[in-house]
Structure 1
Amino acid sequence: MTQPFVDSLGVHGTTAEDGTARLHLDATEEHLNAAGTLHGGVLATLVDTAMAAAVRSSTGEDDVPATSQLTVTYLHAGAPGHLAVTGRVVTQGEHLTVCEADVEQDGRTLVHAVATFAVLHR
């Protein structure tokens, strides 16, 4: 599935299987905020994208995950460099799915997120 906005950030290496997804970003100066650290919106996009991929890997082909709630906890400031993101399904119901995700850089967790997705049946 192509995702122009996510692709424009430079996300690569996305894998998803059995309710778990991983993706990567090699953050550059373009991903920084005015304070010189990774922009919170970039980090929020990464966890949202990873969790949605995790949901898609555990539902039917015609099901579409739609974020209905997203809580992002920023634990540490990030810098340019490699980011690894893992999203996983925690609890899956008939219409709602709860996920968690983490962003790691150099062995340190920068972000922990929790989200609820509504699963839309096409």
Structure 2
Amino acid sequence: MKTNRKRTYEWMNPLETADKAKTMSGFDFLNSISKGETPLPPIAETLEFHPLSVEIGRVVFEFEAKEYHYNPIGSVHGGVISTVLDTVMGCTVHSMLPQGVIYTTLELKINFIKAVTIKNGKMKAEARIIHLGKNTALVEADLRDEQGHVYAHGVSTCMIINLNK
């Protein structure tokens, strides 16, 4: 039996948010998102994940699998998990950057350990900085269920870009 589902959502202009980011340190900017003072980026609205905590060098997001995250074989698509982990890792790097300095992902590696489904409930994506240099950063993250079981692990290299130069 075919059953249709429908989903609608809204998002704010991401260019306005990006302009705001340029006026604040990464930590202050991420805290403003976490507190609801700055809107979530469209990708977070689309995939429904959000920050739980922001510290310098450590960020935690919450993610709960939904049917619309599924691939054709009945589990969350790897691209969704990769996006959540890439975002939390990027935010962790951003949490350490001063005003006028941004980042971009240079390399991303994700290990998928267990299938994620709607049965997993709320999950946490937690990232930790490994190294922050002048031009690059290395960061890692895990996606875990409420019992602490790891479902995916990621490592990312980010390029640091100073907009003031």
> Quick check: TM above 0.5?
yes
- Bigger strand fraction: 1
Which stretch shifts more, 36-45 or 55-64?
55-64
Given candidates 112, 119, 122, the residue that maps to 2:160 is 119
- Aligned position for 1:85: 125
Unaligned runs of 5+ in 1: none
What secondary structure does 1:46 align onto?
A: helix
**2:82 is equivalent to residue 41 of structure 1:** no
- Aligned position for 1:109: 150
CA distance, structure 1, for counterparts of residue 161 and residue 70 of structure 2: 34
**How many angstroms does 1:12 deviate by?**
2.0
**How many angstroms does 1:43 deviate by?**
0.3
- Aligned position for 1:68: 106
CA distance, structure 1, for counterparts of residue 138 and residue 160 of structure 2: 11
**How many angstroms does 1:41 deviate by?**
0.5
**How many angstroms does 1:83 deviate by?**
1.6
Taking structure 2 as the reference length, what is the TM-score of the superposition?
0.70
**How many angstroms does 1:13 deviate by?**
3.3
Structure with higher RCO (Cα < 8 A, 6+ apart): 1
Unaligned runs of 5+ in 2: 1-16, 18-39
What is the alpha-carbon root mean square deviation over aligned residues?
1.2
What secondary structure does 1:58 align onto?
A: coil
**How many angstroms does 1:70 deviate by?**
0.3
* Number of residue pairs the alignment of both structures matches: 122
Bigger radius of gyration, 1 or 2? 2
Q: Which runs of 4+ in 1 moved over 3 A?
A: none
Identity %: 27
Residue identity opposite 2:89 in structure 1: M
**How many angstroms does 1:25 deviate by?**
1.3
Residue identity opposite 1:78 in structure 2: V
What secondary structure does 1:77 align onto?
A: coil
Taking structure 1 as the reference length, what is the TM-score of the superposition?
0.93
Q: Is the 8 A contact 1:78 1:105 kept in 2?
A: no
- Bigger helix fraction: 2
